[in-house]
Amino acid sequence: MTVEQARKEIQELTAKINYHNELYYQQHRTEISDYEFDQLLKRLIKLETDFPQLKTDDSPSQRVGGTITKEFKTVYHQYPMLSLGNTYSRQELKEFDTRVAKGLDGEPYEYFCELKFDGVSISLIYENGRLVRGVTRGDGVRGDDVTANVKTIRSIPLRIHDKSAPANFEVRGEVFMPKTVFEQLNKEREDIGEERYANARNTASGTLKMQDSAIVAQRRLDCFAYYLLGDEDVETHEQGIHQLEKWKFHVSPTYRKCKNIQEVLNYIAYWEDKRENLPLETDGVVVKVNRLDQQDRLGFTAKSPRWAIAYKYKAQSVSTRLNSITYQVGRTGAITPVAELEPVFLSGTTVKRASLHNANEIARLDLHIGDYVFVEKGGEIIPKVTGVDLAKRTKNTTPVTYIDRCPECNTKLIRIEGEAAHYCPNVNGCPPQIKGRIEHFIQRKAMDIDSLGFRTIEQLYDLQLVKSPADLYDLTLNDLLKLDGFKEKSARNVLNGIEQSKATPFESVLFAIGIRYVGKTVAEKLARYFKSIDKLAAASYDELLQAPEVGEKIALSVRQFFDNPENQREIERLKKAGLQVEINEKEIVRESDILANKSFVISGIFQHYERDQLKEIILKNGGRVLSAVSGKLDYLVAGENMGPSKREKAEKLGVTIISENEFEELLKGKQPPT
């Protein structure tokens, strides 16, 4: 393919991707599947990799991330991001209205009302139509530059194509994690034995400050734009909102212009219950004077504008009877206590169950069976018990004693030091753990055997046909015909799905086998670093710590998994079944011989590269990459947080230690200092 051919295809792909992106976020419609969209993006990334000179800063490929940010630079806001005064009282809203009327000397005015979203404030700076900077609110005067992470949010335009847009302007918005994404993320965390995140707002905030923008992209954050600054042609806040919509920003359609304070109160009442059906959490309403010149005249206090106020809804809480506590066993053996409640209506739904988190929370609440407890939804999506109505406690209530044995297999529970949860250690004999591991194994992000489902797994387990993932590959047509509702066609579909899963790449297989704390991202990092399951299984604790994303907890978990004889037998069975247990290395195309006959060991974390990228660069330029330091090594490429033992050994053996910058100089033919 020529450069011109590539340029033409890149332009066509960019137009298609932007079209479908706009269709999804602006018109809430789709014309292609997620898979088809991902294939367009994958093709674009491939072309930009092959022809890097054709890649632009506003390419849709920026959405997938990949930039590693070690430190977030501090940026001063051109316009301070002041906090709003807030109230829970309708009477105080009327008093605010009186102050506005007085400040404008009786001049007519109107309000613009918007829902107050429970997310993270962001400032987006555009120059000559391109997004150049994304900055967090910080202390209101200065914030952190999180541009690389902001670019992964697909609803934020990377480029404004309207030629009438001003050369420089700023957009304020609220970054949030949709409810569905948050719930899926928590399911995945439970799946690998991690604690659930508390709420979507804090999770969005933490995600926006992650160092690896590729992980941020996977979190599927969204952003509602709500304020335009720097466009001199805009005279009202309403005009600014319409301008943002015209420029294809994602604006919540829930706003309303109100002629007076009574209409504001009506708007607040309208959304008090209906907001529960929105895709994100809201905690109130922002009320602004609409005309910008009137905003200027009203001015600011030291902390907040006089022309705006936030009305906050009180957290919806109800009291109901705690009838009992049940205990659920997850795939990793973690025990989750659940409050079984007298059914009660809360935030638009009937609530029968609520989370109690762990034994510590039950003790903190001093729960008794028969208590009347307060239940809230708040920002947690799943209802939770927040307190006990002690005024209603009677002598007939019974203090809760946390179970000490598994409710499924009666095994004595254990508690790992430093963790709040209790665990059932009967990994290979506890039915929910076994079925949970198989369900995890077949899921889309793992082996993707979509012809199987949880009900089928339960039947297979109950008939003693499948007691581990490896058993799936021994199933026969006659086995499946024993299941309720299975005919020959459906049975063959399952067998075909199982057979096709053998082509699933190693990184997905590694995630599927279900090592505790090893989620999808960590599995991919481990697969790329160790290349095969045999090398991973043989890696020592210290060697595991050298891998990207691996800390002490993960390293210990991986080591314990592969030290278990039953797991070793399971892995051998999966290998014999024909699963992919090593990375298919792509052929390295030699670009130069500038590093010929030179050997390198790479250790630590780098500012501009992943370790796999450094390895590929070395190989493309004729060098060799080794795994251990020895006297024959030419260079140790040292990044941040490099293991001290490697540095000490290199210094003792007289090996040249070079930094990331010195490595780049080496590529240019310059010799590093010795």
**Residues with catalytic roles:** 116
Question: Strands 308-312 and 86-87, how do they pair?
Answer: parallel
Cβ pair 26, 244 in contact under 8 A: no
Query: Could you give the 3-state DSSP secondary structure of residue 451?
Result: coil
Phi first, then psi: give them for residue 581, nearest 5 degrees. -120, 20
End-to-end CA distance of the chain: 43
Token pair, residue 563, equals 């030290």
- Rg (C-alpha) for the chain, rounded Å, is 29
| Pairwise CA distance, residues 247 & 244, whole Å | 5
Residue type, 643: G
Place of tokens 């708007």: 267
Neighbours of 417 (CB within 10 A): 4
Cβ pair 15, 39 in contact under 8 A: no
Token pair, residue 92, equals 């105080």
Distance, CA of 579 to chain centre: 29
Alpha helices per DSSP H over 235-352: 237-246, 261-274, 292-298
Token pair, residue 360, equals 């510590």
| Pairwise CA distance, residues 542 & 72, whole Å | 29
Neighbours of 539 (CB within 10 A): 21
| Pairwise CA distance, residues 154 & 424, whole Å | 41
Place of tokens 């907001």: 275
| Pairwise CA distance, residues 438 & 423, whole Å | 19
| Pairwise CA distance, residues 420 & 433, whole Å | 19
Give a three-class secondary structure readout of 475-518. CCHHHHCCCCCCCHHHHHHHHHHHHHHHHCCHHHHHHHCCCCCC
| Pairwise CA distance, residues 487 & 480, whole Å | 8
| Pairwise CA distance, residues 397 & 370, whole Å | 5
Cβ pair 602, 657 in contact under 8 A: no
H/E run at residue 47: helix 34-50
CA distances from 616 to 529, 590, 610 (A): 12, 10, 10
| Pairwise CA distance, residues 558 & 543, whole Å | 11
